[in-house]
Amino acid sequence: MSEKKRGFLGRLFGGKDDQPDIRQETATSQGEPDELADVASEPEVETPAVPEPVAEPDDTTFEDTETVVHPVADMSPVPDVLVAGEGPDLALAPVFQDPVPAQVSTDTAAEPKRSWFQKLKQGLSRSSSALTDGISSIFTKRKLDATMLEELEDILIQADLGVDTAMAITERLSEGRYDKEIEPEEVRAILSEEVEKVLEPVARPLDLNRGKSPHVVLMVGVNGTGKTTTIGKLSQKLASEGKTVMLAAGDTFRAAAVEQLKIWGQRTGAEVVAGDTGADAAGLAFDAMKAAKEKGVDVLLIDTAGRLQNKTELMDELEKVIRVIKKLDPDAPHDVILTLDATTGQNALNQVEIFGKVAGVTGLVMTKLDGTARGGILVAIAAKNQLPVHFIGVGEGVEDLEPFSAKDFASAIAGLA
C-alpha cells in the first residue's frame, strides 16, 4: 500500500491520531468541535448535572392522597374525555371504547398497508440518503485513494455514526482495495455489515414474561422525546398479545400529557391511573402499583415527566418514584426504559449517561427516526453503551413502533433493498 489515510483525529488536530482512547470523548464532550456535532441545529436540551448522592430520605412518603377507584357509574358527569378523581384523589380512569379522540394519531388506517421494513426504510430515508448520496458522490469511477477515504469518513461522522464506527468502516474498505475502482454498492454493503456488527449485541427484545405480577416498566426521558406516545404504542402491542395493561400518568406536570395517556388507555383498552396536575408523581406510582397488584394486571407502564430545565427536581422526583415503587416490590421497576429522540443527535449520548446514573436505565427506545438525517446516532449509542435497544419508532401512529432488528436497521440506513 503506497498511501496511508490519515485518521479523523489526525485531520482534526493536524497531528498523528495515536490517541484512540479520546475519540469517543471528543465526539461527545460539551466542547466538541463543530465538525463533530451540529449542536446549533439540535433542539435545545439542557443537560442535567448528575446530583450528588443524597442520603436516603427517611420519608419515602408522598402527599397522602387516598386512592379512589371510581367505577364507571361513579364518574358523574361523564366527561368528554376522561376525568380523574376529584381534588387530590387519584382515579382509575374507565375504559371508553369510542370515539377515539382526534388529537392522538392511533392508526394508519387511511394508508395502504406497508411491511415494517418498508416503513423503516421510508422512516430512515433522510438518514439513509445523507449517507448514500455522499457515498455516490465520492465513489464515481475513481480509484480508491486516501482522499476518498477521508471524505467517506467525514460523511459517516456527520451522519452521527460515531468516530469509531466511521473509522472501522473506512479501514475495512481500504483493505486490499487501494488503487482499485469501487462501486457505491460495495461501499453500502460494507457500511451495512459494519453497522449490523455494532448493533447486533444491543438488539434485545423487551422481555415481559419474567414471572412478575405486575411487570413494572418505568418510562423516563427528556420532555418531548416520546415517552407517552411510546407507552401508548406499547400498550397496544401488549393488548394485542392478550396481556392486561395498566397505565400510570406519572407526568403530573403537564395536563396535556395526562390527557394524552388517558386517550391512549381508552384506545388500547388499558386502565389509566391519573391524578390532578401537580399531584405527587411518587404517590401516583405507588397507588398505580397497588391497583395493578390488586387487579392482577400483567404489565404496569408508568409515564414520568421530562423536565430537564428543572433538573434537580426531575432527578429527585425520579429517584423518589423508584424508591416508592420498591416499597411494594423490591425488584421493581423491572425495566427502566429511556426514550431518545433521534433528532437530538449527539445530545442523546449525554441523556443515556445521565438517566442511566440517576434512574438505572435498563433499555432504550429510539423515537422519531422518521424525522431526521441523524438516525446514525443509534449506532454511536450502541457502540458506547451496550444498552439493549428494545424498540424504534418511525412515526406517530400506533403501528410505527417495532422491536429493534439490527439487520433491518443496518440495511435500511445503508439504502439496501
Sign of CA dihedral 72, 74, 79, 83: negative
Q: How far apart are CA 202 and CA 362, in angstroms?
A: 11
Query: Which position among 371, 384, 407, 416 is part of the footprint of ligand GTP (CB under 6 A)?
Result: 371
Q: Is 225 annotated as a binding residue?
A: yes
Query: Does the footprint of ligand GTP cover residue 254 (CB under 6 A)?
Result: yes
Could you give the string, one character per residue 203-222, with x where binding to ligand GTP holds by CB under 6 A and - elsewhere?
A: ------------------x-
**Look-up of cell digits 397488584:** 293
DSSP string computed for 165-217: HHHHHHHHHHTTTTTSB--HHHHHHHHHHHHHHHHGGGB------SS-SSEEE
- Using the CB atoms, write b or e for 277-316: b if 16+ within 10 Å: eebbbbbbbbbbbebbeeeebbbbbbbbbbbbebbeebbb
Q: What is the Cβ-side half-sphere exposure of residue 318, based on CA atoms within 13 angstroms?
A: 30
Q: Is 370 annotated as a binding residue?
A: yes
Q: Is 305 annotated as a binding residue?
A: yes
**Cell numbers describing residue 156:** 459517516
Residue nearest to ligand GTP (CB): 393
Q: How far apart are CA 85 and CA 30, in angstroms?
A: 44
| Stretch of 74-82, 164-172, 273-281, 390-398 contacting ligand GTP, by CB under 6 A | 390-398
Q: Is 134 annotated as a binding residue?
A: no
Query: Does the footprint of ligand GTP cover residue 320 (CB under 6 A)?
Result: no
CB of 344 to ligand GTP, least distance (A): 12
Query: Which position among 28, 174, 225, 252 is part of the footprint of ligand GTP (CB under 6 A)?
Result: 225
Could you give the string, one character per residue 264-303, with x where binding to ligand GTP holds by CB under 6 A and - elsewhere?
A: ----------------------------------------
Q: Is 304 annotated as a binding residue?
A: yes
* Angle of CA points 178, 183, 187, to nearest 5°: 75
Q: In this complex, which beta carbon is closest to ligand GTP, that of residue 320 or of residue 368?
A: 368
- The arrangement of strands across the sheet holding 91-93 comes to 91-93, 271-274, 245-248, 299-302, 215-220, 335-341, 363-367, 389-393, 401-403
Q: How far apart are CA 19 and CA 2, in angstroms?
A: 24
**Cell numbers describing residue 370:** 422518521
Could you give the string, one character per residue 66-105, with x where binding to ligand GTP holds by CB under 6 A and - elsewhere?
A: ----------------------------------------
Phi, psi of 292 (to 5 degrees): -65, -40
CB of 161 to ligand GTP, least distance (A): 20
Query: Does the footprint of ligand GTP cover residue 250 (CB under 6 A)?
Result: no
Nearest to 234 by CA among 367, 343, 136, 371: 367
Q: Is 227 annotated as a binding residue?
A: yes
Q: In this complex, which beta carbon is closest to ligand GTP, that of residue 51 or of residue 371?
A: 371
Q: Is 307 annotated as a binding residue?
A: yes
* H or E stretch at 357: helix 347-359
CB of 281 to ligand GTP, least distance (A): 12
Q: How far apart are CA 381 and CA 156, in angstroms?
A: 14
Query: Which position among 170, 229, 344, 362 is part of the footprint of ligand GTP (CB under 6 A)?
Result: 229
| Stretch of 152-160, 252-260, 321-329, 344-352 contacting ligand GTP, by CB under 6 A | 252-260
Query: Does the footprint of ligand GTP cover residue 223 (CB under 6 A)?
Result: yes
Q: Which residues pair with 367 in a beta bridge?
A: 341
**Look-up of cell digits 482522499:** 147
Query: Which position among 370, 376, 382, 408 is part of the footprint of ligand GTP (CB under 6 A)?
Result: 370
Q: Is 341 annotated as a binding residue?
A: no
The annotated binding site is made up of: 221-228, 303-307, 367-370
The annotated binding site for GTP is made up of: 221-228, 303-307, 367-370
Q: Report the interface residues with ligand GTP, using CB under 6 A.
A: 221, 223-229, 251, 254, 257, 260, 305-306, 339, 367-368, 370-371, 393-396, 400
